[in-house]
Amino acid sequence: MANRIGISGWRYEGWRGMFYPKGLQQARELEFASRVVDTIEINGSHYSLQTIGSYKSWYAATPAHFVFSVKGPRYLTHMLRFRDDTARPAIANFFASGVLALEEKLGPFLWQFPPNYSFEPDRLNRFLALLPRDTREATALASQHDARVKQPWFDIKRQHRLRHAIEIRHPSFASPDFIKTLREHRVALVISDSVAGWPYAEDLTADFMYMRLHGTETLYGGAYTDEGLDHWASRIRSWSAGSAPPDSKLFSPARARPRKTRDVFCYFDNDQKVRAPFDAQRLMARLSGA
């Protein structure tokens, strides 16, 4: 069991001189941030294919036992929308781009659906079936890459499993059928806290939880109060112990099977006004008893 608390991204100009010490070289910002929090979401992979050089440098900059989550390409989630004829080569390119070079520091993959992407059971099943469940499957998929990957890399030294989480933003996902589908594929539902009015639920659908805290005042802005962080700390303790808070908001009346433990990944995305890294540290202190 592990509780990992971190931030969504690390390269923000407004953080310099406030979270990052004045004069710190930009190339050393990840090194600094990864000594403050337990985990970081890689956001750049959402906007474009990253390179093997970047993934290797990120691996080298972070301490042992650090974990990254990786945001899946918006080319898949927002543009292609997982159409059968184009989804497979695009996913192959993603896994061939170098992401597997994160090795043991590779945590969950985050797949964020756009607000106008609705729940269609057959389409979602096809997409989830494409996702590799371990590095062996990912390597086989990566070998199908095309010429858009200039420096393909999938030379895996150690095999391990891969995890996936889905973040939704369309009200049609508020359905027991959606939860059933996630459980069948052992994919986590992202607990997405925001003021944007997106669907919110805490159904347990995998052996881990994935949380994104987007802010309290505006989307990506607003610090979490002490009371708010106490609330999240209490829920994380419950989830990591394998249970669920009695007041959980659910899409499905069917409860998940009990577990002895459950890993929890929590990312602060309220990066505006430099709140995310400090809120992450405040929550970490609560969970550690400091």
What single string gives the DSSP state of each residue in 47-89?
HS---HHHHHHHHHHS-TT-EEEEEPPHIIIIIITT-HHHHHH
Residue 216 is predicted with a pLDDT of 75
Residue 52 has pLDDT above 60, yes or no: yes
> Would you state the structure tokens that stand for residue 102, as one six-digit string?
């994160």
Residue 170 has pLDDT above 70, yes or no: yes
| Cα–Cα distance measured from residue 99 to residue 56, given in angstroms and rounded to the nearest whole number | 9
What is the chain's mean pLDDT, rounded?
93
- C-alpha distances (whole Å) from 80 to each of 77, 123, 229 are 6, 12, 37
Q: Which residue has the higher pLDDT, 78 or 224?
A: 224
Indicate the pLDDT class of residue 84, thresholds 50, 70 and 90: low
For the segment 228-265, what is each residue's pLDDT rounded down to a tens digit? 999 999 999 999 999 999 999 999 999 888 899 999 99
Domain boundaries defined on the chain: 3-288
| pTM for the model | 0.95
Q: Which residue has the higher pLDDT, 214 or 105?
A: 105
| Cα–Cα distance measured from residue 32 to residue 289, given in angstroms and rounded to the nearest whole number | 23
Residue 257 is predicted with a pLDDT of 84
The CATH H-level superfamily of 3-288 is: Protein of unknown function UPF0759 (3.20.20.410)
Indicate the pLDDT class of residue 75, thresholds 50, 70 and 90: confident
Residue 110 has pLDDT above 60, yes or no: yes
Residue 1 has pLDDT above 60, yes or no: no
Residue 67 has pLDDT above 80, yes or no: yes
| Cα–Cα distance measured from residue 8 to residue 15, given in angstroms and rounded to the nearest whole number | 13
| Cα–Cα distance measured from residue 46 to residue 231, given in angstroms and rounded to the nearest whole number | 30
* Among candidate residues 130, 118, 40, the one with its CA nearest the CA of residue 94: 130
| Cα–Cα distance measured from residue 222 to residue 215, given in angstroms and rounded to the nearest whole number | 5
Residue 85 has pLDDT above 80, yes or no: no
Q: For 218-227, give one letter per residue: b (16+ CB within 10 A) or e.
A: eebbbbbeee
Q: Which residues pair with 266 in a beta bridge?
A: 5, 211
* Among candidate residues 158, 157, 153, the one with its CA nearest the CA of residue 54: 153
Residue 83 is predicted with a pLDDT of 66
Indicate the pLDDT class of residue 2, thresholds 50, 70 and 90: confident
